[in-house]
Amino acid sequence: MSYLVLARKWRPKNFKETVGQTHVLRALTNALEQERLHHAYLFAGTRGVGKTTIARILAKCLNCEKGVTAEPCGSCSACNEIDEGRFVDLIEVDAASKTKVDDTRDMLDNVQYAPARGRFKVYLIDEVHMLSKSSFNALLKTLEEPPPHVKFLLATTDPQKLPVTVLSRCLQFNLKRLTPKLIRDRLEFICKEEAVTIDEGSLALIARAADGSLRDALSLLDQAIAYCGGAVDGESVGTMLGTIDRRHVGRLLSLLADGDAAGLLATIAEIDEQFPDYGNLLDDIARILQRIAIWQVVGSSDANDELDEAELQRFADAISPEDVQLWYQIAIVGRRDLHMAPDPRSGMEMTALRMLAFQPAAAASSGSGKNVAQTAPPTKSRPAKSAAAPRAREKKAAAPDTGSQWQDPDWQSLIESLDLSGAVRLLANNCGYLRREGVVIYLSLDQRSESLLTKARQEQLAKSLSKRFAEVLRVDIAVGATEVETPLQAEARALDEQLSAARKSLESDPNVRALQDMFGATLNSDSIEVVHPEQSRNQEH
């Protein structure tokens, strides 16, 4: 007996065996039980999610010899013949190969005749969006008012190509892509029934590679069984799929966290010997970064994550949330632009180096890791430069005076001299300086700005202060009503004072008073703005 592939052997025979698509199955089950049957159904969804399978089960439900039911018996002649693809009253049409209007007219010529054996004559048109415009026009009238013994079941992967006149005549069901967990559970069940030995790593790899399609997953499982010659293991499946060993991905992230550019390039060179798919490698990096970001926010991850909790915690501690978000964005943009690189390896190398080059200055200068300049050997013609050097030159203050002793500072001026940027600088500007006790600097934060306060930002502020005064300092930030004026509040107060002075100056101006007396004009004080010298120069240019 010839071998039957798993995708055909394990095709569901009834709604209970169907994986996922609960929203579709519930609607069809209720319609069948209440006998509220429409004459045309449209099943839309990506490949391998069950469009044609559900349509065939619905045909069995309509023509089962025990009556219209949501649970066909599966043993009568009608059910068996539909399963075997030889039921005379189930007419399956492949619209991709029969697109001409003559083919559609030939099909519709037989609509008027009663079914030969079944209760209903069912027309199952697959890939219906491939029909020509003339074919759709020929189908419209029959699709709207078919004979009572006819049902149309349409399936498509691209419903947007269907005319709205066809969509309006059908009940449309959008089938969802299956989750990796659903696919993995189904594969595990089938492997047990088939007595196939397979490990969890292999199931996870196949479920993810299937990209939401159960049929693709079963085809990959067939391929894996043949490739492994029996017992299926993760390493062999990874080689078959061309995926990168997850240990390499974790190593790349560790090197990124350490700022080790030389190690990154060496690891990519090592990976290149395995003829990798660099697009998949960047996908894997982005996927792990997304898991790390979730872990940093909620402190947990779903149980089906391929990373264990210890590994997630290690990465979450080693990489700041800002870097995780930045690297994720760089990874997906690098994945998109990979085809424009001179070659895939150089595209991967530039993406990895870009992650280092665009690290925030505070992170690059902290003691948690090395920067690009520390890891890349300098050339003879040009000395090595830190990635944070351009930002350092932009700061108003000079390098920290390592010999200076602490004095209660002008907090606003001190912030200007610190190596701060982004959200950390905004946090400092919303804080008021209270006092220093020992190595602890006490600040107060307005309750309205509480969302700015995170552990990572507080630590970065402490590192910048420690660097500025050449001693290890800690920062304690209390949230509540600020006892002192913050830099932002001082700036707003100064702006209000300038606006008030400007209004008084205009109100007392003799020219303005003359206009008011002569024409009854009024001064619109809300339109008065303070123009800084920089703005004035920009407007002149």
Which of 235, 234, 328, 243 is CA-nearest to residue 277?
Answer: 243
Total domains in the fold of the chain? 4
How many Cβ atoms from other residues are within 10 Å of residue 389's Cβ? 14
**Residues 204, 167 share a domain:** no
Q: Pick the range with the lowest mean pLDDT from 329-333, 402-406, 480-484.
A: 402-406
Specify the amino acid at residue 537. R
**Residues 345, 215 share a domain:** no
For residue 386, the SS3 value is coil
Which tens digit of pLDDT belongs to each residue from 333-388? 999 999 999 999 999 999 999 998 886 544 444 444 444 333 334 333 333 333 33
Please tell me the pTM assigned to this model: 0.59
197, 164 in Cβ contact below 8 A?
no
**Is residue 258 situated within a structural domain?**
no
**Is residue 256 situated within a structural domain?**
no
Q: Please report, for the domain that includes residue 103, its CATH number.
A: 3.40.50.300
Per-residue model confidence (pLDDT) at position 360 = 57
**Is residue 263 situated within a structural domain?**
no
**Residues 442, 332 share a domain:** no
Mean pLDDT of the chain: 82
Q: Which residues in 96-177 belong to E strands, given as ranges? A: 121-126, 150-156, 171-174
**Residues 233, 145 share a domain:** no
**Is residue 395 situated within a structural domain?**
no
Whether the per-residue pLDDT at 231 is higher than 60: the answer is yes
**Residues 134, 59 share a domain:** yes
Q: Which of 374, 395, 418 is the last residue of a domain?
A: 374
Q: Please report, for the domain that includes residue 307, its CATH number.
A: 1.20.272.10
256, 220 in Cβ contact below 8 A?
no
User: What whole-number distance in Å separates Cα of residue 268 and Cα of residue 345?
Assistant: 8
**Is residue 416 situated within a structural domain?**
yes
Per-residue model confidence (pLDDT) at position 526 = 66
**Is residue 397 situated within a structural domain?**
no
Whether the per-residue pLDDT at 172 is higher than 80: the answer is yes
**Is residue 392 situated within a structural domain?**
no
The domain in which residue 73 lies consists of: 6-174
